[in-house]
A and B are shown apart, each in its own frame.
Chain A
Amino acid sequence: MAHRLPRKDAVIVGLGWTGSILAHELTEAGLDVVALERGPWRDTATDFPISYAQDELRYRLQHQLFLQPAQMSVTFRNNASQTALPVRNWGAFMLGNGVGGGGLHWNAETFRFLPTDFTARSHLTQRYGEKFLPEDMTIQDWGITFEDLEPHYDDFEYLCGTSGTAGNVNGKIQDGGNPFEGARSRPYPTPPQKQGYGHTLFAEAAKQLGYKPYPQPSGNLSQPYTNPLGVTLGQCTFCGFCEWFGCANYSKATPQTTILPVLLRNPNFEARTECEVMRVNLDNTGKRATGVTYVNSSGEEFEQPADLVLLCAFQLFNVQLLLLSGIGTPYDPRTGQGQIGRNFTHQTMSTAVGFFDKAKYNFNPFIASGAIGMCIDEFNGDNFDHGPLGFVGGGYIGQVRTNGRPLESISVPPGTPAWGAKWKQALRDNYLSSVICGGACHASFYSYRDVCLDLDPTYKDRFGRPLMRMTIDLHENELKMSAFLTDKYAEILQQMGAKQVVKQPRKGPYDVTDYQTSHLCGGAIMGENPGNSALNRYLQSWDVPNLFVQGSTAFPQNAGYNPTGTVAALAFWSAKAIRSQYLKNPGPLVHA
């Protein structure tokens, strides 16, 4: 029997980036807010101090700052003809856990989407004709524009102190920035990070080939910075242990280094950690959330009543909670009916390895940050003519190598045995002089009718609830795109002076053991009407107006950039609508 707790104005599920942003906004608005986080409290001094933060085995291979599959996992199959099986240990993606969520151990690559990414379907249809898009591709317009979000990208970048070079300020193209970016209202708050040898050589080669390289926008700061909340971050020291790891330096923008010190001092706010939300509770109309039910780490069940419920968990788990709570209609790929679970996407990643003459090139790969690097956007979005190419979508291409961590940097030329004296020698010969960059081609993953999420019929979590089932495979469009982008990256590596380039385009079938970013998106998408979306333009549930669902869950498809910048911008945009409209007049903000 659940213990019923005193009512709160708002309950937030998950205390990562969006949970922290929304908690801060709502407590500033005077609301009494509780955040429930199923993982532990995490902070710099206790969890990743400088004395042992740089531990590749513990934090990368054994992912100790992450959710462990024993606590919650998912099942996976490529298509409906297969039986989905559990992901018993992480591979293709790794999911955050604990206060800070993914925002604690991300590498802080902080991008904005392109204006045309928000109107993907109408733009591409207009330019290439409807028949150009695959028949089973289900991309949609978002229902908002880049201009709607621009002030909120700005909010996030100034919260973080993002280091970068603007490419387009109020319509004026700036030298050294990304000439393709949507117009921004002002430059980045801090200058771009310094670049290493490999990154610099890449930019020179890219320029020689006629491209316009720009520094990757980085939430690992180039200089100390105090944000508008009064929280100060330090200068990144290029330690090379960024993504997967906590930052011991206070120089990576995370909820811990930007919001939590202020949020926790607000008497209106309370966080409860190691509390797992079981479901959102609804009243007997099914159209109003009354709060959530959660379980603490000793198994006691609590009911937390609240007037406003915000799902701020990771994308997969927001969708899981919607399904477990009976909110919206589950998507059925056979009929095309139902919104919850459809338009599930990931990220199309590929790379090429460049081997260089070790007598002439030493890249010191261990001198890096998580978001260091030089990128080109000539082949992102619809920045180039797809007509002759036979695919849509694109991505940034960059030398964005983040580390020289030994186990992740094993790089030997093709034909080298996997073991023995020759392997050992090849490792010795190539570690300093090869360019390996997993994130080199970081491309869109469009949505398809048969790529979706639902509740698994067989496998359960430790509470007996069904795991999420992922049905996902790569489609011809993304494979063609990946081959194209990989070729372009390989050309730049050649131009840099590589003696051998080994292309590694993305190949199907989608492999759940092969890491390809944790940028899972969709499942409860935003849109213009309840017939084709789960959420309205403010991330408010069409079905339950006092429920808002944050995160990449809302993306109708994923674009050719890391999603966190857009996730955070949407959180600020949604928070503004809640504060300026919803709180004054609770109810649906959009009448479709």
Chain B
Amino acid sequence: MGSISLNNINKSFGSTEVLKNINLDIADGEFLILIGPSGCGKSTLMNLIAGLEDLNSGEIIIDGLNVSDESPKDRDIAMVFQSYALYPTMNVARNICFGLEMNKVSKSEQESILKRVSGLLQIDHLLDRKPGQLSGGQRQRVAMGRALARSPKVFLFDEPLSNLDAKLRVEMRTEIKKLHKRIGTTMVYVTHDQIEAMTLADRIAVLKDGELQQIGTPYEIYNDPVSHFVADFMGSPGMNFIECIVKDENLIIESGGKKYEISIPCKDALNKSNLDVVLLGIRPEMLTEVQPSAVGNKFIQKVKFDVEVIEPMGADTVAIGQWNETEVMVRLSPESGNSAGNGFDLQVDTSKAILFDPSSGLRLR
């Protein structure tokens, strides 16, 4: 059906290397997210898969066929663009059928495909309108309809939701996920939004400066990042990174003039690294108010926390303070009633804490 193999892909524009030796296998029916900061090469990689840019070296194999030199139309791929790229002078029906028309599909078959696709996306009532008369969400649906009409082997999505407002984005996100469940076609989806990545992906590929940093399930990427960069990129509010001095296999955290020795799970990695100072990575949800039920676990400890800023988010409240002269975000219950200026003992759960080499940013394992 629609498996994709990218082998040793290199791409440069002039003297700028945009992609460096990318290797990636995408299984048939998989939902793969390409994520990274802007300029990391994720859109270029997508354009290479689509055939809209030429490779410098490497090969692209779709469904067992080497398509590296094929033109876009011969790759059996459909793409949804960030700007939707609907043909402004054609009505919705013709927008959806244009690809079929170009591929010389018979009129009657076009009709039946149009009916199926517009029903699936609930755009039956819009078929006579021009794109200019549609709202953002409707345009998005039409763009997906155009991609669906040709029943391609692979769908490519290039930041399809970034032009929508926040509420609609969440709705369409769910719809895309449902759509994938229903049709089961391979999807490659570019985004810089880590929440989209976490919620949609079967697997996430994180790119930085044209290099693949890590490929894994959302759980792996979130809980087991290979580097400071990946850990920092995923999660909102982001992971806390605190530089700590190592003392007897423990880490020192200084708060409010007092020093605390923190026990951590990854002692082997710490010993192996021989570092005096390491970067402790710990997610805000592991820093909470003291929960009596958790006390007793050896990775649960208490550290004094002075609240500088409170950011209520509804379901949680994020509080910001300082440890080791670094800003630290913690996640409190909205009922805690804390306000800026308060100081109290915080429960620190290091069972999922990870360590990084402060100079290279790489994970200590």
Q: Do A and B assemble together?
A: no
Name A's B-contacting residues (CB within 8 A): none
Name B's A-contacting residues (CB within 8 A): none
